[in-house]
Amino acid sequence: MPRSPLFSLSLFVLLFAASALFGTLPAYDPALSQPALAAVLGSTLLFLLTAYLTRTRFIARAVGGLLVTAGALFALYFISQFAYWNYPETPTLIQRLGRATTFLPFRYFAYLHPNGVATLLEILLPLAAALLLSSRRWWLKVMFAIKTVILGYALFLTFSRGAWSSVAAAAGLAVALALLLRLPRRTAVTLVIGAVALVMAAAAGILLLGTERLTFLQSTITAADSRLTLYRNTLYLATDYAYSGIGLGATFGMVYSRYSLLIFVPYLTYAHNLPLAVWLGQGLPGLLALAGIIIVFYRLVYRTLCRAQPDAVFHGAWLGVTATLIHGLTDARQYVESPWTMPALFVMLALAAALARLAFAQGDDVTDRSQPAVRPYRRRALALPVMAAVILVGAVLIFNAPLRALWHTNRGALDETRAELAPALNDDDRAALNDAAVAAYQTALALDPALPNASRRLGNLYAALGRYAEAVPLLETAAAAEPDYPAAVKGLGLAYVWVGRIDDAAYMLARLDDRQNIVNELNTWANFRSDQNEPELAAYARAAAARLDALP
């Protein structure tokens, strides 16, 4: 096997680590970045050690066994402490089982969020199953059977529907591949198509019946709707910081609250989506590095499945990676419990890559050597980066002004965020940063007057600085372009309040989801304005609250 795939994967992993290192620079408080940075750098080191020091299948199986053993011990600890945490929203059946199997006195080391636990277990469960199925000695089979049961039971206790679905999807993929490899192609394809059709028919049936009749799905549907709203708002937020991100680590909570929801307290702590979390935490370089890791890894998996006969542990490793990446579409606990979830992902990536290399190096290549090569490997390897470079240069030339406008918006957003949220700044420092943000937004709008990001950010900043009349036209432009984004809609509604356009304010704020919360917030604003000796603005806020509350 050519060394290029493993080298390319390592290169993207190193780029991911570098983006994390630079991701500390945009953070409004660098102290918030340190735990996540340590996790990324440690995970990168573990990846390199595992990928390049795993030189035999014995070592690979030993590494896999150690991972599964450590995971089983962690799962036992979670099981032993389950009853003490009183996890909310956990069904009664799971609560009863969890209480019945809590077998140790309470020992606190760290809070175990069930989704975080599930993120670790979903990576290890396919590996444990692979070691169980491929072990030849009876005592190893018994040992791995016990560990697989422990991991599976702990995963069940987490009540993480995202993890359950991702493991089920990985298992379905494994079965589909087994059918394709062992059955006649026509039969295997027919079975796979039938399974996909069955899933689609079930989804169509749910839509036709109506979700109101399926009470057991209500919590899932409600959670899905909430997540979609979060993803939409987070995507808007990410485009404000398109190049740099908001900074690595625990920066999301306050930035999301202040600039997406326009509230002054943290509401959510992370983006619940791995690509969005990486983009916000590590900027565009981090997002590109993650995409590169995924593309190169699955290209390596595909080539190994087609051209070699890898060890069963290889299948367990890449399926574990697949399970957690699928879960990453609806959650991103790697950025919350990063000290113990992120290293597991990177080690599993490395283990699969090392076993792929071993499968080729030990003569397992099953390619028909009598067939002529299509093209030299190096030529094929160079084609993709050359095409990407050509597309990038073309995009920069064609979209030069919008891209530069986004860059200045990014600069302004970072200055504005530091001005409001950075600790240990004096009033002069904050004023200077706000002035720099205003200048950056104005430059962005000079380059692209239709850019809603710059209009919204500058309009809301003007409103915060008391320049209400200047804020209104900017926020009207933003709200027209972003009719579902709270930062634009609520920002315009509040700007209407402060210029005395009460009816316009009420109708605009009525577009937001929770009207009563907005009414309460307006009354809070009224009290605040009174305390600040601004009676006219206080009267506007009370009038807007009453008008909004009276709307049908």
Q: Domain spans of the chain?
A: 4-365, 397-476
**Section 109-113 average pLDDT:** 86
- Please choose, from the candidates 383, 409, 407, the residue with its C-alpha nearest in 3D space to the C-alpha of residue 396: 407
**Section 87-111 average pLDDT:** 91
- Please choose, from the candidates 119, 207, 234, 127, the residue with its C-alpha nearest in 3D space to the C-alpha of residue 165: 119
Q: What is the pLDDT of residues 176-197, one digit of tens each?
A: 787 777 777 677 667 767 767 7
What pLDDT is recorded for position 211? 47
Mean pLDDT of the chain: 88
- Please choose, from the candidates 254, 270, 271, the residue with its C-alpha nearest in 3D space to the C-alpha of residue 262: 254
Distance of alpha carbon 357 from alpha carbon 351, whole angstroms: 10
Is the torsion defined by CA of 47, 50, 51, 52 positive or negative? positive
Q: What is the pLDDT of residues 385-430, one digit of tens each?
A: 667 667 767 766 677 889 999 999 999 999 999 999 999 899 999 9
HEC string of 328-363 equals CCCCCHHHCCHHHHHHHHHHHHHHHHHHHHHHHHCC
372 DSSP 8-state letter: P
Tokens 């050359």 correspond to 386
Report whether pLDDT(13) > 60.
yes
- Please choose, from the candidates 314, 341, 324, the residue with its C-alpha nearest in 3D space to the C-alpha of residue 36: 341
**Section 94-122 average pLDDT:** 92
Confidence band, pLDDT 50/70/90 cuts, at residue 76 = very high
Domain 397-476 has CATH 1.25.40: yes
**Section 100-115 average pLDDT:** 90
What pLDDT is recorded for position 395? 67
**Section 187-210 average pLDDT:** 67
Report whether pLDDT(236) > 50.
yes
Q: What is the pLDDT of residues 437-478, one digit of tens each?
A: 999 999 999 999 999 999 999 999 999 999 999 999 999 999
Q: What is the pLDDT of residues 293-318, one digit of tens each?
A: 999 999 999 889 888 888 899 999 99
**Section 91-98 average pLDDT:** 93
Residue 248, token pair as written in the block: 């690595």
What pLDDT is recorded for position 216? 45
Determine the angle formed by the axes of helices 92-100 and 138-158, rounding to 10 degrees.
130
CA distances from 243 to 135, 396, 411 (A): 48, 14, 9
CA distances from 323 to 26, 319, 348, 546 (A): 31, 6, 11, 50
pTM (2 decimals)? Answer: 0.89
